[in-house]
Chain A
């Protein structure tokens, strides 16, 4: 007799509790529904539509705090409709459509690394035992790399990239996947050495050295640094290369492909994206029947 009684008692407790919870739930639901009607804040529906057409990574490349702030700025403050960098033309088209303005195309950009001084090319001055972060390392005696302008190789850019487009190579230099890179510029802002730069996607050849020191000083610390020999300036047929101090400056609007200049460079400072390596190595690949990497 006793066990049955206990069972029925516990069953009634369960039923009672369920009923109470259901009633409470209903009361709260009605309360919330009423409150949401009563306390509703009017919001332009376009903001949410724009937000839906943005990538939603909050990279702040547009200059606003995040995607929502940008969407609000477009609708309320009249910010430009093609401001979203990672979204590119697709997002700009959608935003322009929502806002009912004409779509203006922006040039596609992507990040490139302006240093080829990896572990083998540029030696370390001392052993660094601190935080494995480029920004922290740069603050300790100017960083362990011999070159005060080169890549420190701790991969902070790879860690901060919101799109997973950067990977640290075996040589201690970052590799940026141009297809994944959206030119949001987070890595550009993070790199303490300022060796990541946004370049138009149509550019395939650039000078991958930022050391402004004299040739002899550069040559003593890095086998792939620019020594300011000016051979590239002479080699370029369209006069698109000028010297800015001890570094060449390339004019990408002059119509030159810079291949001749790249071939002449004795240090191999010119980086050719189509081959992923020094230009003469690429020609060698072609000669060996391996073909250039597309």
Chain B
């Protein structure tokens, strides 16, 4: 939908943002296919924000599917499970697909039986489970935010006692171009998404539930509306097509008109709680079947892939196994975890998939832009959904004046990349901001050190 069409539609949205070509036609009609468990998986211990899990298995240990292989190291952490049954081949460090720094990983060789561990995959009625027990089960299942942020879900389900959650929002926006995994999930399991929403509402004591879907997925909207038909507590909303509407700040602004305060404010500060559609299903799986998060939908797409697909992939499957099956075109030269806007380029095809990887995007003939000086056109200022002045941040970045950038609220940037997308001078604005944030963090660490 064009931006003019958006305006005339009268649909809800937020100020700012951009309209990149959504490119979802490549994979949107591909039905979900299971990807056969590979012979070898590598399960990383740091698949979430917070302390990495501690490996609890040794070399040559036999593990079953769904067995804990990494124990959560603290409250803001998540446990990690074996996605297949087999033998632990090694426990070794592997470069993290997010930071590149080595993290512990467990390599498991399949025995081909794919046998479940005891105590998992047992059905119970999810709505009869006590809220406290729900949080416990979710924590045990190692569920994290599956939209990409990978924040441990049990932490979000236990809001601080002084925060009153009124609205639970299921994020079915999927605003990143190319990706269609959440879309297929909403088409396949609309009833379970509504059930999961009711379960989350009951757990945090929220009276109202919402599901936000963008206007480029009308069939998903219809399916969800049908599932929620006749209920007064759950509402399904059709939203304008705009990036980054899937960011929780933007989704809350679009649906409730509320703004999360700066300086590290959380959605709970405005009485909201946002969960991605895939996370909602994982929560329901954890409670209904006591099934840990060991498998997820991954959208394999991009101009570089021969057969774009939506696959149900065991976590820990190497990229190379998936791309071998789907085939690569000549000139495919960049592989990202996630979409083109916020996705992370990968350095090696041996890298395994993780809980937060909703897509594997293969670009063809991806090129580098020639940077030019800022012409002060202000397009980035219009586009920035967080109301920052990206042009100023980029100029301060080139001067490495990070203290001034901190005053200009560089830390409030969520790195959505709208500024860089619209910049006619092709300036690497968001790259400079990321660099600045890491330099400021480094400086803060250096200042804290001598005090200890």
Whether A141 is near chain B, meaning CB under 8 Å from some CB there, is yes
Task: Tell whether, in the assembled complex, residue A135 and residue B438 are in contact, meaning their CB atoms are under 8 Å apart.
Answer: yes
Residue among B95, B368, B428, B439 making CB contact with A142, cutoff 8 Å: B95
Stretch of A21-29, A126-134, A229-237 with 4 or more beta carbons under 8 angstroms from chain B: A126-134
A126, A135, A142, A143: the one contacting B435 at CB < 8 Å is A135
Rounded to whole angstroms, the CA-CA distance of A126 and B439 in the bound complex is 23
CB pair B347 A136 closer than 8 Å: no
Closest residue of chain A to B367, judged by CB?
A: A129
Q: Is A4 an interface residue (CB 8 A)?
A: no
B156 to chain A, nearest CB (A): 27
Q: How far is the CA of A143 from the CA of B368 in the complex (A)?
A: 17
Q: CA separation between A148 and B442, bound complex, in Å? A: 18
Report the bound CA distance from A129 to B420 in whole Å: 15
Q: With an 8 A cutoff between CB atoms, is B345 at the interface?
A: yes
Task: State whether A130 and B431 are in contact (beta carbons under 8 Å apart), knowing that A140-B100, A141-B95, A142-B100 are contacts in the complex.
Answer: yes
Residues in B with CB closer than 8 Å to A148 are 95, 102
**B347 to A126, Cβ gap below 8 A?**
yes
Give CA–CA (A140, B95) in the complex, Å: 11
Give the shortest distance, in Å, between A196 (CB) and chain B (any CB).
16
Return the contact of B434 from the options A139, A142, A144 (Cβ within 8 A).
Answer: A139
B residues 92-125 in Cβ contact with A at 8 Å: 95, 97, 99-102
Is residue B432 within 8 Å, beta carbon to beta carbon, of the partner chain? yes
Contact: A125 with B347, CB < 8 Å?
A: yes
Contact, CB under 8 Å: B99 / A131? no
Cα A221 to Cα B108 in complex, Å, equals: 26
Does chain A have a CB within 8 A of B348? yes
Please judge, given known A-B contacts A141-B347, A142-B95, A143-B100, whether A129 and B435 are in contact too, CB under 8 Å: no
What's the Cα separation between A131 and B439 when bound, in Å? Answer: 14
Report A83 CB to chain B, min CB distance, Å: 17
In the bound complex, residues from chain B placing their C-beta under 8 Å from that of A142 are 95, 99-101, 347
Interface centre among B348, B435, B439, B442 (most CB of A within 10 A): B435
Q: Do the beta carbons of A131 and B428 come within 8 Å of each other?
A: yes
Taking a contact as CB atoms closer than 8 A, the residue among B347, B348, B438 that contacts A139 in the complex is: B438
A140 to B345, CA, bound (A): 9
Answer whether residue B346 sits at the interface, using C-beta atoms and an 8 A cutoff: yes
Task: Quote the shortest CB–CB distance from A160 to chain B (angstroms).
Answer: 9
A141–B435 touching, CB < 8 Å? no
B442 cross-chain contacts in A, Cβ below 8 A: 135
Tell me, in angstroms, the Cα distance from A69 to B165 when the chains sit together.
52
Within 8 A of A (CB), among B425-452: 428, 431-432, 434-435, 438-439, 442
Contact of A141 among B346, B368, B431, B432 (CB under 8 A): B346
Are the CB atoms of B435 and A139 closer together than 8 Å?
Answer: yes
How far apart are the CA atoms of A131 and B430 in the complex, in Å? 11
CB pair B100–A141 under 8 Å, yes or no, is: yes
Q: Is the CB of B431 within 8 A of A136?
A: yes
Check B346–A131 contact: CB distance below 8 A.
Answer: no
Q: Return chain B residues, CB-CB under 8 Å to A140.
A: 100, 345
Q: How far is the CB of A128 from chain B (nearest CB, A)?
A: 9
Q: Chain B nearest CB: distance from A264 CB in Å? A: 31
B267 to chain A, nearest CB (A): 28
Q: Are A141 and B434 in contact (CB under 8 A)?
A: no
Q: Which residues of A contact B102 (CB under 8 A)?
A: 148
Bound CA–CA A140/B99 (angstroms): 6
Q: Is the CB of A136 within 8 A of B435?
A: yes
Please give, as numbers and ranges, the residues of chain B lying within 8 Å of A135 by CB-CB distance: 435, 438-439, 442
| Chain B residues with CB below 8 A from A133, complex form | 435
Q: Are B348 and A125 in contact (CB under 8 A)?
A: yes
Q: For chain A residues 139-190, which have a beta carbon within 8 Å of chain B? A: 139-144, 148
Our pick among B95, B100, B368 for the contact of A129 (Cβ within 8 Å) is B368
- The interface residues of chain A lying within 8 Å CB-to-CB of B434 are 136, 139
CB distance from A137 to the nearest CB of B (A): 10
For the complex formed, measure the closest distance between the CB of A122 and the CB atoms of chain B, giving whole angstroms.
Answer: 15
A125, A129, A139, A141: most-surrounded residue (chain B CB, <10 A): A141
How far is it, in angstroms, between the C-alpha of A141 and the C-alpha of B435 when the chains are bound? Answer: 13
Question: CA separation between A125 and B345, bound complex, in Å?
Answer: 13
State in angstroms the CA–CA spacing of A244 and B151 once bound together.
39
Top 6 A-B residue pairs of the complex, sorted by shortest distance between their CB atoms: A142-B100, A141-B100, A141-B347, A136-B435, A126-B347, A129-B368
Interface residues of B (CB under 8 A from A): 95, 97, 99-102, 345-348, 368, 428, 431-432, 434-435, 438-439, 442
Give 9 CB contacts A-B under 8 Å.
Answer: A125-B347, A125-B348, A136-B434, A136-B435, A139-B99, A141-B97, A141-B100, A141-B346, A144-B347
Q: A125-B347, A142-B95 are in contact. List 9 more A-B contacts (CB 8 A).
A: A126-B347, A131-B428, A133-B435, A135-B442, A136-B438, A142-B347, A143-B100, A144-B347, A148-B102
